[in-house]
Chains A and B, each alone.
Chain A
Amino acid sequence: MDFELSDDQRAIVEAVDTLLAQHAGPKRAIELFASGEYDAPLEAALGNAGFLGVALADETGPLEAALCVEAVARAAGAVAIGASALVAPGVAGRTLPGPIALASADRSPIVRFGAHARTLLVVDSQAGLARIVTLSPGDAEPVRSNFGYPMGRVARALEKSGERLAPGSHERLLAWWRVALATEAAGTMRAALGVTIDYLKQRRQFGRAIASFQAVQHRLAECSVMVEGARWLAFEAAWRGAPAEVAATAAAYAAAAAARVFLETHQLSGAIGYTREHDLHVFSMRLEALRLELGGVGGHRRALARARWGGGA
């Protein structure tokens, strides 16, 4: 993998950033979250511009899709971008009708975008495959949550219905899900850190900018090392087509980094960071939701270790 974006990749990121500047951003995320809405206009705009099919297009692939996912997460898009742009193409080999929610039959029924989803992608480990379930209105109920995404509870019975994909497809779903959440976490962390740094540069106490204190700088610098690590691990995992070990590596690193970034950005931002008028919470609260998916950091680490060195579940 090249670590310098090609001109074409740069153009894709610029184009999606331009679209996001018009259709997304933390202020819009705050409004949508207050009313519990899904950003259908943003999803439509991304779809019309071709950004949801980047993984399957001739000239592009999953790496370019991951670049888009990271950008949407940075802009706090209230859409299931990872599921649409990375997971569905990676597992089903086609784009699926959105919003798309991801669920696992042996994990919590509370999932991101559950109540809005038209398509549910399900890990069915017992049957040893993945399912594509088409949801009707009322199939899932909204769950009140403070964690940045509209959450929904999916009825357990639904997870045994729908189109059965090939045997073993649940492993592909698990891997692409991990890549998607790692990529979304990477973009969300970058934005959370950016919001924090902007604030600490202008906030003055003791007669100087808070960002000029070395004790503060070192913590921000350590966070930036983790955010950069998470970002490149996620991009590499997408570029390599989500092998189980590499996908689990990206997710394990991102989930641990997310916890640290949440802690540091809030601690350094002080009381303003908890308010709904300040942008930090848009990103930070999402990080907590992301880091709990698929067994959380412990689940990803165990999956990594088993994929690399063997040892049972």
Chain B
Amino acid sequence: MAFGSEEQKREHLPRISQGDVLWCQGFSEPQAGSDLVALRTLATRDGDAYVVNGTKIWTSYANYAEFCFLVVRTDPESKRHRGISVLLMPMSLPGVEIREIPSVVGERYFHEVFLSDVRVPASCRLGPENDGWSVVTYALQFERVGAARYARAALTLDGLAVRLAKEGRLEDPTVQEKLGRARAICEAARLLSYRVIDLRAHGQPPSADSNVARVAGTFADRVVGELGLDLFGPDALEYGGFAESNFRLAMTAGVAVGATEVQLNLIAQRFLGLPQE
């Protein structure tokens, strides 16, 4: 919406808003995780296309996605933030190979995406060439509240309470305190996320408020994930159970969408104005 050409908006926005298209995000690379600007995947201009070579990793939904929001380096001589561009790459292009990375989070959760001489039409570039970093940071500010993790955590918590009620355990003051604690943390995450959305709706530019909301969301995920196992004990260890399924998703909270430590760095510098070394 902010950076797309008219043609890109026509092609993508209707399907995205209808929710009938799945995207994945080509951000992390084996050598570029939290330090995303160390990315190396190279896109070399060749006529009306970019020839892309490199590897993306941890890509969720790569196996289902039709498109990839792909971050590449378009200037091979460039360092760090300069020389980066964004490509809206169809996953069906020749040279795109997907390999699952088995993990304890679940099946078909993490993937590696190998890109070998993939010809991506130049018209797929989102925003200016070599200045894609501004697009990426803009998008990340939204991603940090986009996935409504606090809502899933709160729903899971309600689900846990229903199961506890069936076992007649809601009278237990210890159980009440644990549930109450988790609920309050989920609610804080909800409000801080609403706040970010509300500020954007009022036309305020992205800010460290989204990092604050993201960390609050991580707290919510963690407390509910842990509580589910806590309350049901070894019964919760069986694969695919309610608490177990939630735990597997919740355990990635502090790492997905940028490690909590990176969020805390940004809060410290931009929200609290703390000095760097």
Contact A217 B176 (CB under 8 A): no
A222: contacting residue among B175, B191, B194, B264, CB under 8 A: B264
Residues of chain B within 8 A (CB-CB) of A230 are 188
Binds B, one of A104-112, A135-143, A245-253: A245-253
B180: contacting residue among A197, A208, A304, CB under 8 A: A304
Q: Other CB < 8 Å A-B pairs besides A217-B265, A221-B265, 10 of them?
A: A3-B195, A3-B199, A224-B271, A226-B188, A253-B185, A301-B181, A304-B180, A308-B161, A310-B170, A311-B172
Contact B276 A249 (CB under 8 A): no
Contact A298 B199 (CB under 8 A): no
Contact B177 A221 (CB under 8 A): no
Q: Which of B232-277 contact A (CB under 8 A)?
A: 261, 263-265, 267-269, 271-277
Q: Which residue of B lies closest to A232 (CB)?
A: B191
Residue-wise interface mask of B (169-206) relative to A, using a CB-CB cutoff of 8 A (1 in contact, 0 not) = 01111011111110111011101101100110010100
Contact A302 B264 (CB under 8 A): no
Q: Which residue of B lies closest to A217 (CB)?
A: B268
Q: Quick check: is B21 within 8 A (CB to CB) of the other chain? A: no
Q: Quick check: is B155 within 8 A (CB to CB) of the other chain? A: no
Q: Quick check: is B216 within 8 A (CB to CB) of the other chain? A: yes
Question: Would you call the interface of chain B mostly helix, strand, loop, or mixed?
Answer: helix
Contact A220 B170 (CB under 8 A): no
Residues of chain A within 8 A (CB-CB) of B274 are 197, 200-201, 211-212, 217, 220
CA distance A229 to B186 in the complex (A): 10
Contact A229 B176 (CB under 8 A): no
CA distance A309 to B166 in the complex (A): 12
Q: Quick check: is B147 within 8 A (CB to CB) of the other chain? A: no
Residues of chain B within 8 A (CB-CB) of A232 are 188, 191-192, 195
B187: contacting residue among A209, A217, A226, A249, CB under 8 A: A249
- B213 nearest CB across to chain A (Å): 9
- The 10 sampled A-B contact pairs (Cβ below 8 Å) are A212-B275, A214-B265, A218-B264, A228-B212, A229-B188, A233-B191, A252-B184, A256-B181, A310-B165, A311-B175
CA distance A309 to B219 in the complex (A): 22
Contact A3 B170 (CB under 8 A): no
CA distance A19 to B165 in the complex (A): 51
- A267 nearest CB across to chain B (Å): 16
- A132 nearest CB across to chain B (Å): 30
Q: Which of B42-88 contact A (CB under 8 A)?
A: none
With contacts A209-B275, A301-B180, A309-B170 taken as known, whether A253 is within 8 angstroms of B188 at the C-beta atoms is yes
Q: Quick check: is A312 within 8 A (CB to CB) of the other chain? A: yes
Contact A221 B268 (CB under 8 A): yes
CA distance A245 to B159 in the complex (A): 18
Residues of chain B within 8 A (CB-CB) of A297 are 181
CA distance A138 to B215 in the complex (A): 50
Q: Quick check: is A303 within 8 A (CB to CB) of the other chain? A: yes
- B162 nearest CB across to chain A (Å): 8
| Chain B contact patch, size range | 35 or more
CA distance A58 to B122 in the complex (A): 60
Residues of chain B within 8 A (CB-CB) of A221 are 215, 263-265, 267-268, 271-272
Q: Quick check: is A4 within 8 A (CB to CB) of the other chain? A: yes
- A255 nearest CB across to chain B (Å): 9
Q: Quick check: is A16 within 8 A (CB to CB) of the other chain? A: no
Q: Which residue of B lies closest to A208 (CB)?
A: B277
B272: contacting residue among A197, A298, A311, CB under 8 A: A197
CA distance A233 to B192 in the complex (A): 9
Q: Which residue of B lies closest to A252 (CB)?
A: B184
Contact A249 B183 (CB under 8 A): yes
Q: Which residue of A lies closest to B263 (CB)?
A: A221
Residue-wise interface mask of B (144-174) relative to A, using a CB-CB cutoff of 8 A (1 in contact, 0 not) = 0000000000000010010011000011110
- B210 nearest CB across to chain A (Å): 12
CA distance A221 to B209 in the complex (A): 12
Contact B268 A304 (CB under 8 A): no
Interface centre among A211, A221, A298, A303 (most CB of B within 10 A): A221
Contact A309 B165 (CB under 8 A): yes
Q: Quick check: is A225 within 8 A (CB to CB) of the other chain? A: yes
Q: Quick check: is A160 within 8 A (CB to CB) of the other chain? A: no
Residues of chain A within 8 A (CB-CB) of B204 are 4
Contact A252 B181 (CB under 8 A): yes
CA distance A157 to B202 in the complex (A): 54
Q: Quick check: is A300 within 8 A (CB to CB) of the other chain? A: yes
Contact B268 A229 (CB under 8 A): no
Q: Which residue of B lies closest to A251 (CB)?
A: B184
Residues of chain B within 8 A (CB-CB) of A309 are 158, 161, 164-165, 170, 179
Q: Quick check: is A306 within 8 A (CB to CB) of the other chain? A: yes
Residue-wise interface mask of A (202-218) relative to B, using a CB-CB cutoff of 8 A (1 in contact, 0 not) = 00000011011010011
Contact A233 B184 (CB under 8 A): yes
